[in-house]
Amino acid sequence: MAAGQYQQQLTAIKRKRLFLWSVFASYIPAIILAQVITTGNWLSYAVAILWLLLAGLGGILVSFSRCPACGQLFHMRGVVTYWGKKCQHCGLSLKQNLET
């Protein structure tokens, strides 16, 4: 596989991670905003359910990303997910520049 394809796949993994962490970071502000906007709790419940769905989707996208170098699941070893910045199988780093 060419270095450019590796970089594209690593960039895709980075985007998935950014989505997941953005969802995690948005929970408290979204609930506070929902409480401020409405007097009832219905919007807060809707935001919480939407957040759970997005967090689940983000977790699935990140956990089942494949490493461009070895083809294994980048963040998973067995049934355990490690959201570190290196492949759990071959050690390829998300910070690695493969263009050279």
Strand partners, 93: 86
- What's the pLDDT tens digit per position in 44-67? 899 999 999 999 999 999 999 999
Average pLDDT over residues 65-94: 90
The range of the structural domain enclosing residue 68 comes to: 3-81
Strand partners, 50: none
CA terminus-to-terminus distance, the chain: 14
Only one residue has tokens 């998973």, namely 76
pLDDT at residue 38 is higher than 90: no
Give the confidence band of 12 by pLDDT, cuts at 50, 70, 90: very high
Strand partners, 76: 81
Residue 22 lies in a domain: yes
Quote the number of domains for the chain.
1
Residue 28 lies in a domain: yes
Torsion of CA 84, 89, 94, 98, to 10 degrees: 170
Residue 71 lies in a domain: yes
